[in-house]
Amino acid sequence: MGVKVINTILTIIAGVGGAFVLYYLLNKLVELFPPKWEERLKPYFFVGPAFVVIALYLIYPAIQTVVYSFANAQSTAFVGTKNYTDLLTNPGFQQTLLNTLLWILIVPVVTIILGLAIATLADRLRPRGEKFTKTIIFLPLAISAVGAGTIWRFVYAANPEGQPQVGLQNAILVKLGGHPVNWLQLSQFHFNSLLLMVILIWGQAGFAMVLLSAAVKGVPVETLEAARIDGAGERSIFFRVIVPQIWPTVVTVFITIVIGVMKIFDIVYVMTNGNFNTNVVGVEFFNQLFTNGNAGYAAAIVVMLMIAIIPIMYYQVRHFRAQEAAR
């Protein structure tokens, strides 16, 4: 444990110190130019390393992935669009896409509703109660997805009938006279996928709550008082006054969660590894690359995921620019 802590500290020092030395040297280098050229070149000198890192670790791998998606499993020969046609016509992968779509449709909406409800209700508490409530709800966000999956294993765990039930749900069920249930194997109506979604919602509700709470507090008191004077009830004030004014924040939080859901991997991998009809795109990519050793299928899955994310990112950028222009 001590060695790990020392290694972590040394890594931080090396990273921060290396960045400081790099920019110090770049600053000294640009100061060698005449003042006129120094002012012109300084922004490029300071932004340049970031562009190099992005190109090296993001743009180049993305291009290479697109190329590999048209190659065979070993990335040694081109096979055209075979990887895409094989995947899209495979019933198992079609089910994986459906599961991922269900995550995209359900998790962001439920998370936003919960986050907004908690933010609104917590704001009505006394300051000390508000802080305590928000802290408790925000805590799961500090837990890694793997850690969250491990915690929720003790909620969904099932032992054979007659043995002690360590799983919370089965313990309650048995106490009430029922029989233990293998919750994560209940694939009817995607019930087990819904149980996995609960884990992510539990982890992300705090994130939504913090941002939406800040937006709710930013609503001018004058507009609320004017609505009450006009005879509007609390429900009308919430939906017709508060929600329209915080809508840009709602959209931003929604898009952020959607992007995270499209890349979901950890929870499903830890809990079921995609078995029992719970597979999602992230887990399928991992299994194709590391379990099946098929780099072509894995690259094709990543490219399809990138294509699906691009419109969302484009909308987010446009939405952000519209917000900035309206200020």
Give the tens place of pLDDT for each residue, 247-299: 989 998 999 999 999 989 999 999 999 999 999 999 999 999 999 999 999 99
Residue 1: what pLDDT? 57
Residue 77: what pLDDT? 93
Over the chain, what is the mean pLDDT? 90
d(CA 156, CA 169): 6
pLDDT digits (tens, 9 = 90+) for 308-323: 988 888 888 887 787 7
pLDDT digits (tens, 9 = 90+) for 36-69: 888 888 888 888 888 888 899 889 999 999 999 9
Whether residue 313 contacts residue 323, with contact meaning beta carbons closer than 8 Å, is answered with no
Judged against a pLDDT cut of 70, whether residue 15 lies above it is answered with yes
Strand blocks (E) in 175-234: none
Average pLDDT (137-145) is 89
The torsion of the CA quartet 164, 168, 171, 174, rounded to 10 degrees, works out to -140
For residue 225, what are its two tokens?
A: 């008082």
d(CA 272, CA 244): 40
Residue 98: what pLDDT? 95
Residues 6+ apart with CB under 8 A from 264: 100, 103, 200, 280, 282
Q: Is the pTM of this model over 0.95?
A: no
pLDDT digits (tens, 9 = 90+) for 178-220: 899 999 999 898 999 999 999 999 999 999 999 999 999 888 8
Residues 6+ apart with CB under 8 A from 273: 283, 287
Residue 190's nearest CA partner among 264, 261, 115, 279 is 279
Judged against a pLDDT cut of 80, whether residue 2 lies above it is answered with no
- How much of the chain, in percent, has pLDDT values that exceed 90? 49
CATH architecture, range 82-143+200-326: Orthogonal Bundle (1.10)
